[in-house]
Amino acid sequence: MRYLSLLTFAGAALAARPFLDVVDTGFEDYLGGQSNWTEGTLPSLQDIRSIPDFEYAAKQVLADDGWAFYRLAAGQEWGYRNNLEVWNKVQLRARFLRNVVDLRENIGIELFGYNFSAPFFIAPAANAAHGHERAELNFAEAAGDEDIMYNAALFASKTIEEIDAVKRNDTLNGRQVIFQQIYTNNNLSITWNDLDRAARTGAKAIVLTIDTPGSSVRVRGARHSGQDYASATTRPNTWDTFDEVRSRTDLPIILKGITTVQDAVDAIEHGADGIYISNHGGRQLEYSPSPIETAYEIFRNAPWVFDRVPVLADSGVRKGSDVLKLLALGVKAVGMGRPFMYANVYGYEGVVKAIRLMKNEIVQDGWNLGIGSLDDLNPELLNLNTLEQNVNILKAACTS
């Protein structure tokens, strides 16, 4: 089977611009004019106006090793930078004189029979205790109270059982729905135990991370003692490994770490219940494509994938418009990892505020885009010319 492949954007184009460690929203200048704030202390939560503000706030108070762990990316961090900047390549084609008044009541989604109030979720990310002593408990509680999905990380600071203990009885599904992320271990008996623990505590789906076959080059982390991080597994996973995992659980399995149309198609052919587009936040392989690039590659080559299974995506999402762009291409739900880690320096209240900011941005951007519900989103609302210029057209496309 031959495919159309998406070419990587040239690194030189990105290198021509200054690298902003934290996106400038005017927050730093605003705080500098406030007599009640001192650099190196946590700004007032009421002054947070956007998702990037949480990153600036977190940098003020996180210890060096905690900041490095959350912020690090692979190699010279090209992939991380591209994740944030590539959204500029896809313009929105707003339509007007449309009925948009009911959008606020129509941003909910359904995944595997479960309903959520918004099309984004808290993505799996390890070691939330760097930001707050209650760590992932804040994520579970805030997600439950706001009726969004929480995808718990295997290497969370809190155990699967501790997270289960704080689940809410939410308004949409009864008992709070949590998906559990899993890595395979070199000792597969540990993996089977993790799957059993997830099932016993009521996880509704398994998110199997496949993009960590070995350790990665993480220069920023290597500068801090103990942070030359190896990946969770160096196991040489194959489709045989997937088949073994499949035989061990009745839960839906979503494969996380898809960055090519080839792997998306292969995942469906091997029986995955869902796919999860992600380049691990740019933390595994430098020059790996962003989620919007991979989503476009799938849309351009095998659009039927979006109809066959739910498609999730994460990496570099910071705005409501980022979510809308991915949904317009066919993605079902969009994850955010680092933003919630940064918001967690404020504890539960910070996580709730981040959720509400995103909900509001999706509604306001959706109004101005001209949609009355998420069902109105489609590729015609996107100017994809720049992405199309980066497509190398081969002789045949994917077929279902």
209 is in an annotated binding site: yes
Tell me the β-bridge partners of 383.
91
373 is in an annotated binding site: no
Alpha-carbon distance 185 to 123, whole Å?
21
| Residue with tokens 């999730």, as numbered in its chain | 312
338 is in an annotated binding site: yes
317 is in an annotated binding site: yes
State the DSSP string of 253-288: EEEEEE-SHHHHHHHHHTT-SEEEE--GGGTSSTTP
List residues with catalytic annotation: 280
Token readout for 83 is 């994740």
168 is in an annotated binding site: no
221 is in an annotated binding site: no
284 is in an annotated binding site: no
210 contact partners, CB below 8 Å, separation of at least 6: 237, 242, 255, 256, 257, 258
323 is in an annotated binding site: no
Please compute Rg for the chain using Cα positions.
20
Angle between helices 261-269 and 291-301 (to 10 degrees): 70
311 is in an annotated binding site: no
Alpha-carbon distance 150 to 66, whole Å?
22
Tell me 218's DSSP state: B
The CA distances from residue 184 to 176, 235, 391, 399, in Å, are 26, 7, 34, 31
142 contact partners, CB below 8 Å, separation of at least 6: 122, 348, 351, 352, 355
318 is in an annotated binding site: yes
189 is in an annotated binding site: no
124 is in an annotated binding site: yes
225 is in an annotated binding site: no
132 is in an annotated binding site: no
Residue 180 burial (CB < 10 Å; 0-12/13-18/19+)? buried
Alpha-carbon distance 76 to 222, whole Å?
12
The CA distances from residue 200 to 149, 161, 169, 195, 196, in Å, are 19, 9, 17, 9, 6
Backbone angles phi, psi at 314, to 5 degrees: -150, 180
Output the known binding site for glyoxylate: 183, 218, 280, 283
Annotated binding-site residues for FMN read 124-126, 181, 209, 256, 278, 314-318, 337-338
- Which residues are annotated binding-site positions? 124-126, 181, 183, 209, 218, 256, 278, 280, 283, 314-318, 337-338
